[in-house]
Structure 1
């Protein structure tokens, strides 16, 4: 009979988070105070999320950045515009080269997203609007869509190389 009350040894995960931070945050309320008055129609809200990753150092240290843009319009006029770049520094240990892109562009943003979501909710609330609660994002679907768009140019075993825009791209064929 085994003793189930004995503590289990901690298992080190391959992802370590060193820091999370706001890289850039902007909120515009161009029509205030008129934009804060009751509207005849509900506002149209549009949210866009982008993920970028870049190797920062030779020791498997990567920066992953979530870029969130949220805008509200009513009767064709801008109510608000919120733009957030939220970053995280991650060390990936023991991640096979062929799994590097999925970990950086799916798992790392999944860890950052709740914090970025809270910042957008706070800034829209502080701007005088109801807090904008962004729905969960399927980063795996975003990755698959991006991968299928670039499948013709991607090699079978991509290596990580920083692009000029900071995103991680497969090497040129």
Structure 2
């Protein structure tokens, strides 16, 4: 049996995830103590990174997913640099069961965006006069589970 164009029916219903667009929504880099902060440091700076994922339904089967990354490097009480990046993508998702849609949006979509966000941050830090900051890979499954547990404890819907 075919669907009229020679393809079996199951081929028509195959899940699809398409990236329609990717873009920087917001980027901020601060080097508040330059040029003093550019001098050789006595010790490795403490670097703190926060990562969050948000999503909005734009249209039927289309979602905007935003990967937010904030970071700060400090040496003692001195801020060497800080940054904020909101990097987003628009994704078309079709033929995915409803129970799998939320995890797909919150895990796989940011996983596709992350390498681009990582490069933007590395370049911004380098352009600020520091060695490029190469973010470690992110466990988006673990991040998703943490967020779901936190929401369950707070009694919030996902």
Task: Give 3-state SS (helix, strand or coil) of 1:151's partner.
Answer: helix
Contact 2:87 2:117 in 1 (8 A): yes
1:60-139 pair list within 5 angstroms: 60-139=61-140
More helix by share: 2
Distance 1:14 1:110 in 2: 16
SS at 2:152's partner residue?
A: coil
Other-structure match for 1:33: 35
TM-score with structure 1 setting the length: 0.80
2:55–2:105 CA contact under 8 A, matched in 1: yes
2: distance between equivalents of 1:72 and 1:142? 22
Structure 1 partner of 2:47:
45
Distance between the aligned counterparts of 2:149 and 2:121, measured in 1?
Answer: 30
Q: Distance in 2 between matches of 1:20 and 1:125?
A: 22
Distance 1:98 1:60, change over 3 A: same
SS across alignment from 1:62? strand
Between the aligned partners of 1:51 and 1:130, the Cα distance in structure 2 is: 26
CA distance in 2, matches of 1:138, 1:55: 24
Measured after TM superposition, the shift of residue 136 of structure 1 is 0.3
Cα drift, residue 95 of structure 1: 1.1
Q: What is the deviation of 1:150?
A: 2.0
TM-score scaled to structure 2, two decimals?
0.87
Paired residues, number: 146
Structure 1 SS opposite 2:43 = coil
- For residues 40 and 135 of structure 2, the distance between their equivalents in structure 1, rounded to whole angstroms, comes to 22
Residue segments in structure 1 that go unaligned for 5+ positions in a row: 1-9, 155-168
Q: Once the two structures are superposed, what CA deviation does each residue of 1:50-88 show, in whole Å capped at 9, x if it has no partner? A: 00011011x211000000011100021110011100000
Root mean square deviation, CA, Å: 1.7
Structure 1 position 13, deviation (Å): 5.1
